[in-house]
Amino acid sequence: MKNTVYIGVDDTDIIGSPGTGKVARGLAQMLSEKKLADSLGVSRHQLLVDPRVKYTSHNSCKGIAVITENPVAALFQSCIDFIEGCFQPGADPGLCICAKNQVSPEILNFGLKAEIELLTKQNAYELASREGIFLKELGGDGSGIIGALAAVGLRASGNNGRLVDIRGVREIKGIISVEEIKMKTGIIAVRNDQGQDLNEDVMIDSLDWVRPSLIGGIPVLKVVLSKEPSQQTGKRMWVPAEKALKGIAH
C-alpha cells in the first residue's frame, strides 16, 4: 500500500553555498533513485522575517511530499546521510519526516504560527515528542528544526507555498498553451486572478519561469495579464502571477 510522507528541510545553506531549495530537490531525487519513494514535488514556504531569526536570505523552508510503499522509518537514515553530506559550516540544518496519517491539527497550526510568530527549538521538540514524529538537528545549533517542522505542517495543509520542483516545470520555456503545460508537467490547473480555470487553448507566456502554487492540495499555476504587450505577439499575454508580482513580467 502506498502512503504519502512529508519531509521538511531548513537552514542547510550559508551565503554563497547551494541553497536549501537545491538541497531539497537533490534529496527528492536521491529517494527516487534509491527507489525509496517517488517525489510529488518540492515546495517553498515563507516563514517569519524578523531580526531575531537567523536565516541566509529570505527565511523560507522547503517541504517535500513523496509517495512510498516503505514504512516512514525506512526513509530516516538515507535522508540524514544526504543532508549531512550537504553540510556547510555555519549552517544549522534541521530535518523532519512525518507520514500523512501522523499530521495533526497541532502540526498544521505550528506551520501557520511559524509564518507570523517567533518559535523556539523547545516548541518544536515538545510538539514532535507529543505527536511522535521524527525531528532531528543535523549540525550547527540545529535551529533549522523549527523551519523543518513548519515545512511539514505547511506542505501537508495543501494550501500554502510554491512548488519549486515538480515534474517538467523547469523545462517549460516561451509561449505555450494551457493544454501543453498540463500535459508536460505535474500542473493540474492554470487559473487567473479571478480564480477561474483557463481553457486548454489559451496561450501563456511562461517567461521561462513556471512555479505552481499549492491550492486545495493540487499544483495550480496562477496567471495574470501582463501590463505591456508581448514583444513576440504584440498582445497582452497571461504570465505567471508570482513572477509578475516580482516586477519582472510587468
CATH of residue 9: 3.30.70.2200
Q: Match 513523496 to its residue by C-alpha cell.
A: 66
Q: Which residues contact 85 (CB under 8 A, 6 or more apart)?
A: none
User: Over the Cα atoms of the chain, what is R_g?
Assistant: 18
Cα dihedral 17, 21, 26, 27 in deg (nearest 10)? 110
The answer on 131 and 36 residing in a single domain is: yes
- Strand (E) positions, the chain? 3-10, 38-46, 60-68, 94-99, 134-137, 162-165, 175-177, 189-191, 203-205, 213-215, 218-225, 238-240
Residue 250 forms part of a structural domain: no
The answer on 47 and 106 residing in a single domain is: yes
> Over pLDDT 90: what percentage of the chain?
78
- With 0.85 as the threshold, say if the pTM is over it: yes
Q: pLDDT value at position 250?
A: 29
Q: Which residues contact 187 (CB under 8 A, 6 or more apart)?
A: 166, 169, 181, 210, 212, 219, 220, 221
The answer on 120 and 206 residing in a single domain is: no
The answer on 108 and 197 residing in a single domain is: no
- C-alpha span between 6 and 8 (Å, rounded): 7
More confidently predicted of 137 and 1: 137
Q: Is residue 221 within 8 Å of 244, Cβ to Cβ?
A: no
Q: pLDDT value at position 244?
A: 72
The answer on 177 and 133 residing in a single domain is: no
Domain boundary among 129, 162, 195: 162
Give buried/exposed letters for 166-199 (b at 16+ CB in 10 A, else e): beebeebeeebbbeebbeebbbbbbbeeeeeebe
Tell me what the mean pLDDT of segment 186-204 comes to. 95
The angle subtended at Cα 189 by Cα 187 and Cα 191, nearest 5°, is 125
Q: Kindly state the greatest CA–CA separation across the chain.
A: 58
Residue 123 forms part of a structural domain: yes
Query: Is pLDDT of 17 > 80?
Result: no
Residue 60 forms part of a structural domain: yes
- C-alpha span between 206 and 215 (Å, rounded): 20
Residue 56 forms part of a structural domain: yes
Q: How many CB atoms lie within 10 A of CB 141?
A: 13
The answer on 188 and 149 residing in a single domain is: no
Q: pLDDT value at position 55?
A: 57
25-39, 54-68, 94-108, 161-175: which range is least confident on average?
54-68
The answer on 228 and 127 residing in a single domain is: no
Q: Match 504587450 to its residue by C-alpha cell.
A: 229
- Element housing 32 (H / E): helix 20-33
Determine the structural domain holding residue 233 and report its residue range.
167-245
Residue 81 forms part of a structural domain: yes
Condensed to tens digits (0 to 9), the pLDDT of residues 145-160 reads: 999 999 999 999 999 9
Q: How many independent structural domains does the chain possess?
A: 2
More confidently predicted of 83 and 12: 83
Q: Is residue 231 within 8 Å of 249, Cβ to Cβ?
A: no
Condensed to tens digits (0 to 9), the pLDDT of residues 59-75 reads: 889 999 999 999 999 99
